[in-house]
């Protein structure tokens, strides 16, 4: 993981962190509110971390080319100076990648659920419904923390695919499907996402038509989600 170029990147960032500390002191600001013997090491560490994240995570720079390394080190120095926004950007990049992976899991679970509905036993359908509910809820839960619009759209789209699969599965396991839709719907309402929430409400309404025997449970789930969504709409 660590080689000479990466060490030089981290060192350049550390120098940038020191420059940050000096600039703050020149302007009369005491970074972190600490004395110099605590503030300087902290600035060095944050600068080095920011440079490493900026070069290898955000910019994804190739440090194997010696001719280009000087430009990379200059970028690392700047990352060290402005370490705070760089670390924030790296955090958002990591969150976006994790959320996209969760959306993929929800989509895969929905695909497996469609197969179980077509070929599987009721028991296997119910097991896959529970798995789809879990993966989709986790994806929807990550929405408020994601700032990347493309990732948000992916989560919403894949979640809607999962909702459609759960509605179809209600033909074989209506109660399990209603429970799963209710779980995802509550998470969507809590996350303040109207698109996923609306798709859940519409899905539960469709379940009422497809499974009249479970219509009362589906309507109760709809009302519970609407109750949870109302405070979010007023905020």
Which one is predicted more confidently, 3 or 139?
139
pLDDT digits 0-9 by tens, 192-206: 889 999 999 999 999
DSSP category for residue 213: G
Contacts of 85 (CB under 8 A, 6+ apart): none
Q: Is the dihedral of CA 145, 151, 157, 162 positive or negative?
A: negative
In 3D, which of 150, 232, 149, 131 has the Cα closest to residue 191? 232
Instruction: Evaluate if residue 230 carries a pLDDT over 60.
Output: no
Give the pLDDT of residue 161.
93
Residue found by looking up tokens 């896959």 in the block? 128
Contacts of 204 (CB under 8 A, 6+ apart): 178, 181, 182, 185, 218, 219, 221, 222, 225
Instruction: Evaluate if residue 228 carries a pLDDT over 80.
Output: no
pTM listed for this prediction: 0.75
**Residue ranges of domains in the chain:** 4-81, 88-234
Region 147-163: what's the mean pLDDT?
Answer: 92
- pLDDT band at 31, cuts 50/70/90? confident
Contact call for residues 207 and 180 (beta carbons, < 8 A): no
Which one is predicted more confidently, 17 or 34?
17
């Amino acid at each position: 993981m660590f080689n000479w170029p990466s060490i030089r990147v981290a060192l350049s960032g550390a120098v940038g962190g020191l420059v940050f500390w000096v600039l703050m002191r020149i302007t009369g600001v005491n970074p972190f509110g600490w004395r110099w013997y605590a503030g300087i090491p902290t600035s060095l560490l944050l600068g080095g971390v920011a440079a490493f994240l900026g070069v290898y995570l955000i910019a994804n720079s190739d440090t194997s080319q010696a001719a280009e390394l000087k430009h990379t080190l200059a970028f690392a120095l700047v990352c060290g100076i402005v370490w705070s926004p760089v670390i924030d950007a790296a955090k958002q990049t990591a969150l976006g990648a994790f959320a996209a992976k969760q959306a993929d899991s929800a989509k895969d679970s929905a695909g497996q659920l469609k197969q179980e509905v077509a070929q599987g036993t009721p028991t296997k359908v119910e097991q896959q419904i529970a798995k789809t509910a879990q993966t989709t809820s986790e994806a929807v839960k990550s929405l408020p923390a994601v700032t990347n619009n493309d990732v948000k759209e992916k989560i919403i789209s894949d979640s809607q695919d999962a909702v459609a699969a759960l509605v179809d599965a209600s033909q074989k396991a209506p109660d399990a499907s209603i429970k799963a839709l209710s779980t995802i719907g509550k998470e969507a309402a809590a996350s303040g996402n109207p698109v996923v929430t609306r798709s859940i409400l519409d899905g539960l309404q469709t379940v009422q038509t497809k499974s009249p025997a479970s219509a009362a449970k589906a309507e109760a789930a709809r009302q519970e989600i609407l109750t949870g969504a109302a405070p979010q709409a007023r905020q």
